[in-house]
Amino acid sequence: MTDSDLVTLRRDLHRKPEPAWREFYTTARIVEELQSRVDLDALHVGPDAIVADQRMGVPDAAELAAWHDRAREAGADPDLLDDLEGGHTGAVAVVERGEGPTVGLRVDIDGLPRPESDDPDHAPAAAGFRSEHEGAMHACGHDAHATIGIGVLERIAESGEGLDGSRSSSEQGSDGDFAGTLKVFFQPAEEVIGGGKSMAKSEHLADVDYLLALHIGLDHPTGEIVAGIDGFLAVRHLDATITGESAHAGGHPEQGRNAVQAMATAVGNLYGIPRHNDGATRVNAGVVEAGSASNVIPEEAYMQVEVRGETTDLMEYMTENAERVLRSAAEMHECDVETEIGAEAPSATSDEELVSIVADAAGRVDGVENVLERDRLGGSEDATYLMREVQQNGGLACYVGVGTDHPGGHHTATFDVDEDSIGHGIETIAGAIERIARDQP
Amino acid sequence: MTDSDLVTLRRDLHRKPEPAWREFYTTARIVEELQSRVDLDALHVGPDAIVADQRMGVPDAAELAAWHDRAREAGADPDLLDDLEGGHTGAVAVVERGEGPTVGLRVDIDGLPRPESDDPDHAPAAAGFRSEHEGAMHACGHDAHATIGIGVLERIAESGEGLDGSRSSSEQGSDGDFAGTLKVFFQPAEEVIGGGKSMAKSEHLADVDYLLALHIGLDHPTGEIVAGIDGFLAVRHLDATITGESAHAGGHPEQGRNAVQAMATAVGNLYGIPRHNDGATRVNAGVVEAGSASNVIPEEAYMQVEVRGETTDLMEYMTENAERVLRSAAEMHECDVETEIGAEAPSATSDEELVSIVADAAGRVDGVENVLERDRLGGSEDATYLMREVQQNGGLACYVGVGTDHPGGHHTATFDVDEDSIGHGIETIAGAIERIARDQP
Amino acid sequence: MTDSDLVTLRRDLHRKPEPAWREFYTTARIVEELQSRVDLDALHVGPDAIVADQRMGVPDAAELAAWHDRAREAGADPDLLDDLEGGHTGAVAVVERGEGPTVGLRVDIDGLPRPESDDPDHAPAAAGFRSEHEGAMHACGHDAHATIGIGVLERIAESGEGLDGSRSSSEQGSDGDFAGTLKVFFQPAEEVIGGGKSMAKSEHLADVDYLLALHIGLDHPTGEIVAGIDGFLAVRHLDATITGESAHAGGHPEQGRNAVQAMATAVGNLYGIPRHNDGATRVNAGVVEAGSASNVIPEEAYMQVEVRGETTDLMEYMTENAERVLRSAAEMHECDVETEIGAEAPSATSDEELVSIVADAAGRVDGVENVLERDRLGGSEDATYLMREVQQNGGLACYVGVGTDHPGGHHTATFDVDEDSIGHGIETIAGAIERIARDQP
Amino acid sequence: MTDSDLVTLRRDLHRKPEPAWREFYTTARIVEELQSRVDLDALHVGPDAIVADQRMGVPDAAELAAWHDRAREAGADPDLLDDLEGGHTGAVAVVERGEGPTVGLRVDIDGLPRPESDDPDHAPAAAGFRSEHEGAMHACGHDAHATIGIGVLERIAESGEGLDGSRSSSEQGSDGDFAGTLKVFFQPAEEVIGGGKSMAKSEHLADVDYLLALHIGLDHPTGEIVAGIDGFLAVRHLDATITGESAHAGGHPEQGRNAVQAMATAVGNLYGIPRHNDGATRVNAGVVEAGSASNVIPEEAYMQVEVRGETTDLMEYMTENAERVLRSAAEMHECDVETEIGAEAPSATSDEELVSIVADAAGRVDGVENVLERDRLGGSEDATYLMREVQQNGGLACYVGVGTDHPGGHHTATFDVDEDSIGHGIETIAGAIERIARDQP
């Protein structure tokens, strides 16, 4: 069973989903919660938590300002909000409990720019914690991730207290008596794979020996834990702007250079990039905006395209093909095209040693009925930036799946989590952290 | 030479382009100008000028409110603005000068939702009367049309005064001494072919015996007048919304039903609707908006499509094909599509009798060096609603082309008019009106 | 009523349709018929009738040989066939009857490479003269054209005989007593617009003062004659070969460069070339052949594309766009494309003076109930080469439409002609020729 | 080193590639070779080797007859050819050597309908054994497969002779002294996945205890053996015929229903069927033929499409999507489409027990420097029919990869094999067969 305060917290976050770099209320709420509940040794917020110039996918000033205002109106601490201005969101919270390894936990905190269902069958709608931000939604469970991050900090802070002899948490997968340092990275902008790098490059990660990251759901039911997830698709965003020439669509269609025809040709051929024998690839033209009026030959088309590959090479293969498709489609209609590479993330692998520890810890958690050693994500994640950074420094990393019954698919209007799984996540991760500290003194 | 006050007026209107049903400042400015310059017998404004429920293409309340506020800030008369609220724009101004036929003149007054060039070679930019409404522009000369409407009212009002014997305007194509009634219809929303019907169905048009309409430019140079324009393409707007299902583009692309793929397939095939042996056809996917984020399979795509035909049958042929293309493209990707028929306008023909009168009048105007009897528009116009209404009532109608040197094409960022042609338009139309009144007592 | 011998002849030709440059049997049959029925002054056959190196669209040697064999088996005169070898088909037959102008008549004689319907409702199938050449068909009435050419020669040869006083043909639109020279050009390869130029450039046309050409059908019913047809679309054939690289479609799709994807992208965008305000345009990808096996990424695609325009400029506009579409589509899939310009034909106009003469002659023909002065073809024709040649030499030219009830459209499997119209054609043309000779001595 | 007689044989087969069900010369040549070199106990040829009505992808009678004639002209035994008439090709050869298990070996023998390179760098061109059948080629190594089949029969027949004590083949991976029965299945029509089922269902396979199959190349170099290949993609062929209506492309394009536009739309969207998270999928429009003439709106388009999936479910997913794409593309252009399911093959797995035996045998072969336990095919194969049949009967099956340096990819114009690898294949397979017999008495 998940602590009822944490359920309240999760629902409050759910009500206020904030997309990438707009997590003003979310960051403030996390900070407030941490300050009132956990005996922290350090707390780095906003610009102190990230490397600002490594951020990717930051929206424009007007968009940031609008969400900043909204957070203020929602009652977030004004002083704290001042620090976060300009899209400097996120936090790193630190608990030091004696000598031992430095363990990192990364949780992401951003929502998605998509509307939430108001169907009465959708639990958040029925129970009154549906998104209050029209057009935005926690449709991927990051509200639960942030909550788990706080829960783990609380658990480990208390576990560390037990060094005097009392084993406060001997049940439920806990080995108790944590000795070492725990840093929880509340990362912004995962959905646009824009925040991982800015945390990976911060000084806070430099001394982390063991890094855990987690995701809820992923089609695993409540009570199932995947100890080590792999199969992260390398991903790259391509923003393409096709520019032609407008003309009166009735009077002189032949004088136009039609950016919408070029765009449509590009879309058709992007999805048709040949599948590759070396592994999975992906392509999506997720956003398209073009034209100005029905009677004007459209002179500009803007596209947000995304390519992925099971390996970096496959992602490069997709990039190269996508760029050629865009270029040729533009030429075909005498248009120009500017393609800008936006955010991107590499692939990564969970280390076997940590996978075993997590599996072991998960097996001891009440309510966890099934532990899988390994599964594949089949999507992308910028936790990979942090994982690879730690691995390159000689450390180990592991990405954990926390099963939850979710009625709708990830990123859909009816996504929701089974709140019981929040407790499973906290206990599994906390248990694993204690075990790491015990085994690697 | 065009009266310098009228040049000032035209430039002021140019600075404040307002798209369809948002002509708040424009209507107020026209009313103000008329009240200060012309001895009118009646002036019907806003809801009194149009049949409100025959309006097509009216934007939503928020959009209307934003432009209404803008007009207020620009200094338009607040009382007048109150009347126009909710997109009830336009005006009908009446001058009665004794016994005689009722002649109508229709001019359109709306701007386009497209940005204006800031190139120093673009005269409005150089001379300081470029659009102050970012994203909107008088790119089709309706600022000049409104100005001509006022100029003609002024001329005819004065000509009518001359009944006592003084022939105030014996020069320049004028036959002077107007006896009859002149009604000038300042029509909103031509660009979305949304306003013509609402004026055609008003009581003001019911007793019009002769209707003139005009357009500046159309690739004819300054000094050229086309006495009778035909070849109006019948036009229809189709707003299509394709709805699929979103999914995570990396994790489960197969679970999505991709509205962007459907849209792209539709676009490619819309432009490929077979050409027709019976005459010219047109199709344009002028606006496309789709998707929410690069990593989400897009679940919705919105398209503004426009079809035209040299005859109504050809427009119906295009409609039928376009609807089938949209339907099949949606089905292909397991999406639904809702296609809504928006604004539309029929074709029309200029009556020979009026064409001769206009040609004759034009031939007498200083600065007019070339008079063409006939030309084809090759575009669409909702003046056709008014023309057909008058013709069905037994009257005659004629659409006049007033040549102007325009550096950029209609609807492009560098469109502009040669202001000398405003005078040519006023004199030609006023001369024709006088002649009509004289010949048809 | 059409002479029953001519009906027999037409049906025999119908049974043996031969596509462009393969008119071996047809040419032999025409020659045989002329030699047995008409008192000719000269007969130029095959290589003597055309300029061989001006032929366009000649098929390869194997194809020619196969049809040559077939003609031999069908019983055509072997000696004559020898002359025609290698695709030198067609004939020019000359009748000289005293002093007078030289009048030319051009009829085309080739069939189409398409199967004929075997539906019992299709008259040729029911009456036993359906095509004996599977995959070929007289689906455009050239069997009737050749028959009319022979009928006219016969009529004029006899009319010329009448100079001694007997007016053999005073009925039916005839002015009798022809004095002058008649040359009938039995032209091959019209369907591929490949034969017109090779006859236009021959010495036989050099002294022609008046040229008539004709087409049956064109959606005009039996009993209707169109005296002068215009609106010939300029046309150009583009043969495109797209070359990519094959690969195993299951094992290594990424190693292929897919010519079918390039072709499909080209097709979609060819039909989408913007319509042009200056007039009608056409485009068709009439033949596509690509790939070798379902499990091989296709490395080659061959396309026969055709563009047309109401003017030569419009045809050039279409060509330029089509070439760019093909080039960009190939590049998009890393393929090469070779585009070869094949046959082409210009536009042309019927001279008013001849149109009047034809109209007058048609009005006197029994069974002709309606004579239209003018109509537009809306298609292409390489008779235009001969028309323009004569006009450039100072002569006059006219293209005549001979109405016929045709159950299926031109080029479809159920096209057929009402044989009564053959007589209408002969009498109209012969009458016009006599009138020309009489009026222009 | 490969026996020079076998090299001669392979080159002779290479010179005479025969596509699916046309392996007349090939079958006759194999039979002749076997009869002259191997002491067989039984030989089942043509109709006796296969179940005729389980054949898939059999070409039409004219095509079969043409190849049958060609085989006769090439000097194949006329009596034998009589047996093979109508596309009854292939053979099963049997060697019985005492008591022991029945081991099967399946090799495929057909060529591909694609031209072979005549580049002097292409060894078969340089050495004079390039394809003599224009448009056909052994581009997948089945000439080598057939040769290996004969070599293995020879080796095992001799090995069995050694039962009296002489160990004729104690070197090179051989365990000698074979006791049991060997059946080699020379299977036709693998390239169209058309022959596997007809051999799988024959009585000859019913008593096979262990089945081996093999493929040369697959991007593995000479000297490398893959003991067990998996990852066979399930495959299905879809033959689609789109039927519209023809019309004159210049005169009445609007009267056509354009099968080529439908086909092009289908192709674009077939390749765009969403990738699937459950595993690899494939789609290919390998053959397209459409239209009749450049000036006729094409009324028919024929397409050979192929879909594959890593599992049968994935193949069904692709089928369902492909059928919907074809249906909607036809509807979009008012065409009909008939989609016929042609050949298909399931997936299959190599049994671990046999994989170990093959790996062991391969390790002892001279020239084999690297033995991989497992690899994935990433393509399709109808050997899976035989493998699954044996496995369902309680037997074991294994598919072996025999590395060869191949300059061009499989199915390309420059594919060739390193003939040394033929020996490696023979020795590996023969060694494995001996070991099976020894271990499983």
pLDDT for A435 = 95
Look over chain D and give the mean of its residue pLDDT values, rounded to a whole number.
Answer: 93
> Tell me, what's the pLDDT at C333?
98
C112 and D CB contact within 8 Å: yes
How far D425 CA sits from the closest chain C CA (Å)? 21
Digit-coded pLDDT (tens) for B227-236? 999 888 999 9
Q: What is the mean pLDDT of chain A?
A: 93
pLDDT, tens digit, 9 for 90 and up, residues C343-399: 889 888 999 999 999 999 999 999 999 999 999 887 789 999 999 999 999 999 999
pLDDT of C172 higher than 70: no
Set of chain D residues whose Cβ sits within 8 Å of the Cβ of A268: 268-269, 272
Q: Is the pLDDT of residue B55 over 70?
A: yes
8 Å CB contact of C275 and B272 = no
* Weakest-pLDDT range from A374-388, B313-327, B386-400, D160-174: D160-174
Q: Give the D window 330-349 contacts with A, CB below 8 Å.
A: none
CA-based nearest residue in chain C for residue A265: C265
Q: What is the mean pLDDT of residues D223-239?
A: 94
Residue C273 distance to chain A (closest CA, Å)? 8
Which residues face C290 on adjacent strands?
Answer: C301, D288
Contacts of residue A371, defined as CB under 8 A and 6 or more positions apart, other chains included, come to: A224, A225, A226, A227, A359, A362, A363
Q: Is the pLDDT of residue A192 over 50?
A: yes
Find the DSSP H helices in A123-258.
Answer: 123-126, 142-161, 196-200, 203-206
User: Residue A176: what pLDDT?
Assistant: 57
State pLDDT tens for residues D249-261.
998 999 999 999 9
Across the interface, of C269, C277, C282, the residue whose CB is closest to B275 is C282
Is it the case that residue D170 has pLDDT exceeding 50? no
Is the pLDDT at D169 greater than 70, yes or no?
no
In this predicted structure, the answer to whether residue B398 has a pLDDT above a threshold of 70 is yes
Residue B66 has pLDDT above 50, yes or no: yes
Residue C177 has pLDDT above 80, yes or no: no
By the CB < 8 Å criterion, does D242 face chain B? no
Mean pLDDT of chain B: 93
**Considering only alpha carbons, which residue of chain B is nearest residue C281?**
B275
| pLDDT bracket for residue A288 (50, 70, 90) | very high
Q: B238-263: per-residue pLDDT in tens?
A: 999 999 999 989 989 999 999 999 99
Q: pLDDT at position C167, please?
A: 36
A260 to B233: CB separation less than 8 angstroms, yes or no: no
Q: What is the pLDDT of residue C124?
A: 97
Please, which pLDDT band fits residue B440 given cuts at 50, 70 and 90?
confident
> Could you say which of A269, A277, A281 has the minimum Cβ distance to residue D275?
A281
Q: How far is B54 from chain C (nearest CA, A)?
A: 31
Q: Which amino acid is at C111?
A: G
For residue B265, give the chain C residue with the closest CA.
C268
What digits encode the pLDDT tens for the residues B105-142?
999 999 999 999 999 999 999 999 999 999 999 999 99
pLDDT surpasses 70 at C163: no
User: B234-345: which CATH topology?
Assistant: Alpha-Beta Plaits (3.30.70)
Asked whether the beta carbons of residue D296 and residue C305 sit closer than 8 angstroms, the reply is no
> Can you read off the two tokens belonging to residue C281?
């345009």
Residue B269 contacts C, CB cutoff 8 Å: yes
Q: Which pLDDT band, with edges at 50, 70 and 90, does B187 fall under?
A: very high
* pLDDT at residue D339 tops 90: yes
List the one residue out of B115, B128, B117, B108 whose CA is nearest residue B382: B108
Contacts of A164 (CB under 8 A, 6+ apart): none
Interface contact flag, D254 B274, Cβ < 8 Å: yes
pLDDT at B12 over 60: yes
Q: Residue D83 and residue D64: Cα distance in Å, rounded?
A: 13
Q: Is pLDDT of D160 > 80?
A: no
Average pLDDT over residues A312-322: 96
Answer yes or no: is A73 a known binding residue. Answer: no
With H, G, I as helix, E, B as strand and everything else as coil, classify residue D421. Answer: helix
Is A424 annotated in a binding site? The answer is no
Interchain contact C281–B (C-beta under 8 A): yes
For chain C, the residue count is: 441
SS3 D227: strand
Q: With 60 as the cut, is the pLDDT of residue C410 above it?
A: yes
Task: Give, in degrees to the nearest 5, the angle at Cα B110 between B104 and B116.
Answer: 140
Give the residue-averaged pLDDT of B56-62. Answer: 93
Please list the helix, strand and coil fractions of chain C in percent, rounded to the nearest 5, in that order: 40, 25, 40
* D2 — pLDDT class (breaks 50, 70, 90): confident
Element (H or E) spanning D289, and its range? strand D281-291
Interface probe for C, chosen from B218, B267, B269, B271 (most Cβ of C below 10 Å), is B271
Our CA-based measurement puts residue D94 at a distance from the nearest CA of chain C, in whole angstroms, of: 32
Contact residues, C window 114-133, toward D, CB-based 8 Å cutoff: 114
pLDDT for B211 equals 98
What pLDDT, on the 0 to 100 scale, is given for residue B441?
A: 54
- pLDDT, mean of residues B71-75: 94
Q: How far apart are CA D307 and CA D237, in angstroms?
A: 7
Q: pLDDT value at position C166?
A: 40
- Give the number of A-D residue pairs with CB atoms closer than 8 Å: 23
Judging contacts by C-beta atoms under 8 Å, the chain C residues touching residue D377 are: 251
Cα–Cα distance for residue pair B218/A404, rounded to 1 Å: 65
Q: Quote the pLDDT of residue B369.
A: 96
- Res C377: pLDDT: 81
Mean model confidence pLDDT for chain C: 93
* ipTM field: 0.76
> What percent of chain D lies above the pLDDT cut of 90?
87
Average pLDDT for A315-337: 98
Residue B380: pLDDT band (50, 70, 90) is confident
Nearest C-alpha of chain A: how many angstroms from D381? 16
**What was the pLDDT predicted at C2?**
76
Position D197 scores a pLDDT of 95
Residue D167 has pLDDT above 70, yes or no: no
DSSP string, D342-405: EEEE------HHHHHHHHHHHHTSTT--EEEEEEE--S--THHHHHHHHHHTT-EEEEEEE---
A247's CB contacts (< 8 A; 6+ apart) are A253, A254, A255, A256, A296, A297, B409, B411, B412
pLDDT in tens, C235-265: 999 999 999 999 989 989 999 999 999 999 9
For domain C4-231+348-439, the CATH class is alpha beta
Question: In one letter, which amino acid is B143?
Answer: D
Question: Residue A5 — very low, low, confident or very high, per pLDDT cuts 50/70/90?
Answer: very high
Handedness of CA D374, D379, D385, D388 (dihedral sign): positive
Q: Does D274 contact B256 at a Cβ distance shorter than 8 Å? A: yes
> What is A4-232+348-439's CATH topology?
Aminopeptidase (3.40.630)
What is the spatial distance between Cα A427 and Cα C370, in angstroms, rounded to a whole number?
96
Q: What is the pLDDT of residue A160?
A: 74
Predicted local confidence at residue B167, as pLDDT:
36
Chain A residues with CB-CB distance to C332 below 8 A? 269, 324-325, 328-329, 332
Cα distances from A290 to residues A246, A330, B265, B306, D121, in angstroms, run 12, 14, 15, 15, 51
D418 pLDDT higher than 90: yes
Mean pLDDT of B363-391: 92
* Beta-sheet strands, E only, within B40-170: 42-45, 91-97, 102-108
Predicted confidence (pLDDT) at residue C174 exceeds the cutoff of 50: no
What is the Cα gyration radius of chain A?
23
pTM of the predicted structure, to 2 decimals = 0.80
**pLDDT over threshold 90, residue B3:** no
Least trusted range by pLDDT, from A150-159, B1-10, C402-411: B1-10
- pLDDT of A168 reads 41
Break chain B into its structural domains and give their ranges. 4-232+348-439, 234-345
Task: Give residue-wise pLDDT tens across range C101-148.
Answer: 999 999 999 999 999 999 999 999 999 999 999 999 999 999 999 999
Secondary structure (3-state) at C180: strand
A333 is in an annotated binding site: no
Query: Binding site: which residues of B?
Result: 140, 142, 191, 215, 411
Q: What is the pLDDT confidence band of residue A162, given thresholds at 50, 70 and 90?
A: low
Average pLDDT over residues B309-316: 92
CA dihedral D418, D422, D424, D429 (to 10 degrees): 150
Q: Token digits for D247?
A: 């019309």
- Matching CATH number, C234-344, of 3.90.330.10, 3.10.580.10, 3.40.50.300, 3.30.70.360: 3.30.70.360
pLDDT in the model for residue D231: 83
